[in-house]
Amino acid sequence: MIEYALNLIMKNGMDGIVSNEKSIEKQVKFYNGKVEIIKEWDETILKIFMARKNKKIFFNVDNPTKAKIREAIERNMKILNIVSPSEYHGIQDKRNYVNRKKFDSRVIDSNAMVEIAEDAISQNAKAGIVFSSIYEKEIANSNGVMEKDRNSMIYLSTRAFYRNSSMHDVSCSRSVEGIDSSIAENAYETAKKAGKARRIKEGKYDVIFYPMAFANLMASVASFASAFYVDAGYSFLADKLNKKVGSDALTIYDDGTIYDGIASQKFDDEGNATQATCIIENGILKSYLHNSTTASKYNTITTGNAGIVAPHPWNVFVEKGSFDIEQMMEGFEGIIITNVWYTRFQNYRNGDFSTVARDAIFRVDKKGMHAVKGIRISDNMQRILENIEMLSKQQKQIFWWEVETPVFSPYAMVKDVSITTP
């Protein structure tokens, strides 16, 4: 199918990229301590990109046949003639493929998924899901690329309750054996510690972020490294290449080749090889993320992060620090935030944002530790990066509906975080 579509495109004098993507997704849902729902979705989509000079168009063909492909290409060729010109510099050719990632076909085995759910339930999980997918992709482009890839992923999301407290945690992997159901018991024990929550005053507090919370922020940082968003004026990292944007403790990579990274891919949406790209090294901004068009504009080569329109990160990897979480807690006074959600930016260009702390939240002072409620972080992203004091040796891969780009995140201690209350 992809060769047929690409031949039609090239016969009409256009650049083209065609990919055929097949996915099988399964979900096991449990609540009230029982497995209740098992769902499955199968999908096949043909994705087509066509370009002539500075005009380009991108469209999908669901459940493709030759007749549907020909009709879609002919229809979109007519549309291409009338679309406005836009920036396009051709498709770069980068084929140094690395394919060391793990693959496990068992992730979509319903029995294995139910077993994971039941194991979590036995460890005090009251509700959650096990979600998995197998994803196969073929790609061809007008540079002569013809490649195949296959990927697997599975994640467990659990919620535990104790009286009026709750805690959420996740475990994700490319294989069944990579899932750690003990997160359910850990979540339960954390919820037990919360007790009756109190309100605190607004102000500046030192904060220890759990990986669930810190990953949310780091996913945003990596997305802002997309050259497309930099050029569009939607990134606080604009005009800061080779400048200090964070503390010496902070190094962030995007890596599409990580062995157990659930978003690892052999190639990007242009057919170019994915790679490890250092975004921030010891606090200094080293690189943006590029596809062919943005790379040509910056007089560099693609980083293998296409997105046809906008480059995007694959797996965000925050380098570990040198501290155990126990060391980070020694003498600490401030707030412990286990999770955040509803992260929203009031000013993308400056990096001003807010996010709501959720689940178990603790205030630590000379009197001890007690639970708090009703707090929001209202701060600036670059200031957060600059105020990172410690990162832990422990690191965890985080992915859920609030962190759509997987992040390998440590615990983080950040000084003087602005906390607001209703």
Q: Which pLDDT belongs to residue 42?
A: 95
Q: Which pLDDT belongs to residue 36?
A: 87
Instruction: Please name every residue paired with 278 in a beta bridge, in sequence order, or none if there are none.
Output: 253
- Residue 389: pLDDT above 90? yes
Q: Could you give the CA distance from residue 336 to residue 363 in angstroms, rounded to a whole number? A: 6
Given the candidates 2.60.120.10, 3.30.2290.10, 1.20.140.10, 3.40.718.10, the CATH classification of the domain at 2-183 is 3.30.2290.10
Mean pLDDT (whole number) for 301-306 = 98
Domain segments of the chain: what residues?
Answer: 2-183, 196-422
Reported as a pLDDT band with limits 50, 70 and 90, residue 232 is very high
- Residue 195: pLDDT above 80? no
- Residue 305: pLDDT above 90? yes
- Residue 43: pLDDT above 90? yes
Q: Which pLDDT belongs to residue 142?
A: 96
Mean pLDDT (whole number) for 324-348 = 95
Is the separation of the CB atoms in 359 and 338 below 8 Å?
A: yes
Reported as a pLDDT band with limits 50, 70 and 90, residue 422 is confident
Q: Which pLDDT belongs to residue 368?
A: 86
Mean pLDDT (whole number) for 314-335 = 96
Reported as a pLDDT band with limits 50, 70 and 90, residue 197 is confident
- Residue 192: pLDDT above 80? yes
Instruction: Please name every residue paired with 406 in a beta bridge, in sequence order, or none if there are none.
Output: none
Tens-place pLDDT, residues 233-282: 999 999 999 999 999 999 999 999 999 999 999 999 999 999 999 999 99
Mean pLDDT (whole number) for 381-396 = 98
Chain mean pLDDT for the chain: 96
Percent of the chain with pLDDT over 70: 100
Q: Which pLDDT belongs to residue 163?
A: 84
Q: Which pLDDT belongs to residue 378?
A: 98
